[in-house]
Chains A and B, each alone.
Chain A
Amino acid sequence: MITAAVPERENYLNNAYGIKSWLLTRDHKRIGLLYLFTVTLFFFLGGAFATMIRIELLTPQGNFVSSETYNKLFTMHGVAMIFFFLIPAIPATLGNFFLPMMIGARDLAFPRINLLSWYLLVIGGLFSLFAMLAGGVDTGWTFYTPYSTTYSNSWVIATALGIFISGFSSILTGLNFIVTVHRMRAPGMTWMRMPLFVWSHYATALIQVLGTPVVAVTIILLFCERVFHIGIFDPTLGGDPVLFQHMFWFYSHPAVYIMILPAMGIVSELVSVFSRKPVFGYQFVAYASMAIAVLGFLVWGHHLFVSTQSVYAALVFSFLSYFVAIPSAIKVFNWTATLYKGSISFATPMLYAFGFIGLFTIGGLTGLFVAALGFDVHVTDTYFVVAHFHYIMVGGTIMAYLGGLHYWWPKITGRMYPEGWAKLSALIIFLGFNLTFFPQFILGYLGMPRRYHVYPDEFQVLHVLSTAGASVLAVGYLMPMIYFIWSLRYGKVASANPWGATGLEWQTPSPPPVHNFDVTPIVTHDAYDYSTVIGQEVEVG
């Protein structure tokens, strides 16, 4: 793993060796790397399921896997990607590593709880992995009742328990972040001087803390229902299956913001650094994160437009869904305004940031399409919805995640990644992504339902395009895997602040010392005040 030969100076990587120094560490930086390793595994696991889905969809007949297997494939793809990759991806890796550094703290407030939360993710992941190996689950990642509680013959309980346990990992991470931001800021680091990355993680943490317990209790009820048939979600016993949908989406809509808010935080950092300007309307962007966190709790009903919800409720939920788009749009406008007259550099992280802004905008706008009652009745449960959320989660979150990884790689490892290869892979990912998912908008609009593997012949062309795109995308994702590992040994040694950035994490050597700073920093400037770094050498640009 990460054992780069960094000479003499002691840092968090070379201060201790051996497997125990990792598995029992309380250093937020090492825990961040443990998470990085774990979520990467789940990313490739989810990717393997996706590959099989795309192969099956090459032809209109179901000839690669059976219908039962197909149901399991898309379920396990969703479970692995959402619960074990996207939700922890940014907060638990980059957030864990950089949130304390960015506010000038030596660690998170509760380092042991931080380690515990990693173990919880691993244990939850093992449960779900066991279910996948033992035979899989076929309910869809949404576990709708009564299918999941009564009729499915697959490993619902093990998977649900895995998600339940990993939920506590998410809760504890959020709790740790909130306390850290409130109590551990360095002298002079006022709220309005915090980097926007910190603000967006703070907002994310609120959602994790308030939303996740609700899905936890929902899973407990699901569990009791499946094991003891107590009737809560079973219509034959007087229960209400739609109640499950309400409770599930009360968490899972906010959860989509757990996935996107940290990504927005990364983009705010990248756009500012690589145009060398403070983020336009800093306060608006900060408060927009908070607004998203709050409004995100009020729109879950837009997933139930066709599930016996009353028309009036649907109208209100539709209306509120439009509201939640406002803070998201504020951010997009402000990033664009930041670019205006900036001295823009097209380093790899910036390419990813550009990719994010474009793709997130498409994903967000189509979110408004599906939030419109009339249109949604036409496209609900079609590939249009699939395309919508992949534009946000893959085009948005994963783009930003990769952008962030490239940006902070020199700080994490002390080595630069190879710029040429990185630019190439960013380009491949962008093209592959669009080729994969744009045809799915058209497919859905034309009526191709999601979660079916047999389809009318006329859809084949678009499906083939999508599968071709997925192959390109896979190449794009494998490249960083290879050159990141390569760079650990052969990459150029990175200076403390290769990008000329203003954040506190760049004021300390790369890789950072065990307790982040040799002297606790004292903050005297706003977050993106580039006058503080004028004259410092910039290595790439």
Chain B
Amino acid sequence: MPANDAHAHAESPALRVQFDTEAQQKDASTLGMWLFLITEVMFFGGMFLVYTVYRNAYPGIFAIASSSLDVYIGAANTVVLLCSSFTMVLAVRAAQLGQRKAIILFLILTLILGGIFLGVKAYEWNEKFQEHHVPGSSFHFEGMQPDEQAHAQLFFSLYFAMTGLHALHMVIGVGMLLFLIRQAQKGRYSAEYMTPVDLGGLYWHFVDIIWIFLFPLLYLIDRHLKG
């Protein structure tokens, strides 16, 4: 579209016309990503707020309901996710060094670990269906009065909303990894230009950190009350 543009730069195909230098472009993209992550913090923040309010309102019921989650599976999944963050860091490092093969390898490892996490999550959700712990007309939590049932259901509503939203972010992350892998295979990234890998890393770590908060909130608090 820019026909007779006085500012067209020939120096690099990756440099967009609105920027003067590649450093400026990279700065802008990075700042944009951080701002996006801030919006995500506010977004999940709303969820955490709701959770806090009801955890506070019904502490006993929430403790019992939360104890029915399988802490070992949750912990194992946490480890899987932390490992995926580690491989993501390695991918970014490889990109900085311009090692194309290594970028692809570590991105694929990250992808696999992310896939395992989602698989385990799906297994856990499926368990809830079988235990009738999914909110709705067939919801039933063993050994609770009818009004307590409602509050236990509230816990599981929040459980599904929060882990669901987190999983949705993971799925988007998986899509992003696939994109990065394809681009890396085409040789788009080099030591000079690796911004997308860098930003993808930021996003992946962010989604990880959300889980680091979700895990104790949903699985661990007041576990000793299980009795």
Where the two chains meet, the residues of A that have a C-beta atom closer than 8 Å to any C-beta of B are 10, 15-16, 21, 25-27, 105-111, 171, 175-176, 178-180, 182-184, 209-214, 216-218, 220-221, 224, 228-232, 236-240, 243, 247, 514-515, 518-520
Contact B53 A182 (CB under 8 A): no
B25: min CB distance to chain A, Å: 9
Q: Pick the contact of B43: A107, A178, A213, A230 (CB < 8 A).
A: A213
Contact A515 B135 (CB under 8 A): no
Contact A183 B39 (CB under 8 A): no
Taking A209-B35, A210-B38, A518-B6 as contacts, is the C-beta distance between A106 and B46 under 8 angstroms? no
18 contacts between A and B (CB under 8 A): A16-B1, A27-B1, A107-B17, A110-B28, A179-B28, A184-B28, A209-B35, A209-B38, A210-B42, A213-B40, A213-B43, A220-B161, A221-B50, A228-B136, A228-B157, A238-B58, A239-B54, A515-B5
Binary per-residue interface labels of chain B (53-88) against chain A in the complex, 1 for a CB within 8 Å, 0 otherwise: 110011000000000000000000000000000000
Q: Pick the contact of B7: A15, A180, A221, A520 (CB < 8 A).
A: A520
B144: min CB distance to chain A, Å: 12
Residues in A whose Cβ lies below 8 Å from that of B27: 183
Q: Pick the contact of A238: B4, B32, B35, B151 (CB < 8 A).
A: B151
A469: min CB distance to chain B, Å: 40
Where the two chains meet, the residues of B that have a C-beta atom closer than 8 Å to any C-beta of A are 1-7, 16-20, 24, 27-28, 31-32, 35-36, 38-40, 42-47, 49-50, 53-54, 57-58, 135-136, 147, 150-151, 153-154, 157-158, 161, 165
A-B pairs with lowest CB-CB distance, top 10: A217-B46, A230-B157, A213-B43, A107-B18, A213-B42, A183-B28, A109-B28, A237-B150, A213-B39, A238-B150
Contact B39 A209 (CB under 8 A): yes
Contact A231 B1 (CB under 8 A): no
A255: min CB distance to chain B, Å: 14
Contact B161 A171 (CB under 8 A): no
Taking A228-B136, A230-B153 as contacts, is the C-beta distance between A184 and B18 under 8 angstroms? yes
Contact A514 B40 (CB under 8 A): no
Contact B39 A212 (CB under 8 A): yes
- In the bound complex, how far is the Cα of B44 from the Cα of A106, in angstroms? 35
- In the bound complex, how far is the Cα of B6 from the Cα of A108, in angstroms? 18
Residues in A whose Cβ lies below 8 Å from that of B16: 111
Residues in A whose Cβ lies below 8 Å from that of B154: 230-232, 237-239
Contact B5 A514 (CB under 8 A): yes
Contact B36 A175 (CB under 8 A): yes
- In the bound complex, how far is the Cα of B150 from the Cα of A217, in angstroms? 22
Contact B32 A109 (CB under 8 A): yes
Residues in B whose Cβ lies below 8 Å from that of A184: 18-19, 24, 28
- In the bound complex, how far is the Cα of B157 from the Cα of A238, in angstroms? 12
- In the bound complex, how far is the Cα of B55 from the Cα of A240, in angstroms? 13
B1: min CB distance to chain A, Å: 6
Residues in A whose Cβ lies below 8 Å from that of B46: 213-214, 216-218, 221, 247
A253: min CB distance to chain B, Å: 15
Residues in B whose Cβ lies below 8 Å from that of A214: 42-43, 45-46
Residues in A whose Cβ lies below 8 Å from that of B45: 213-214, 217
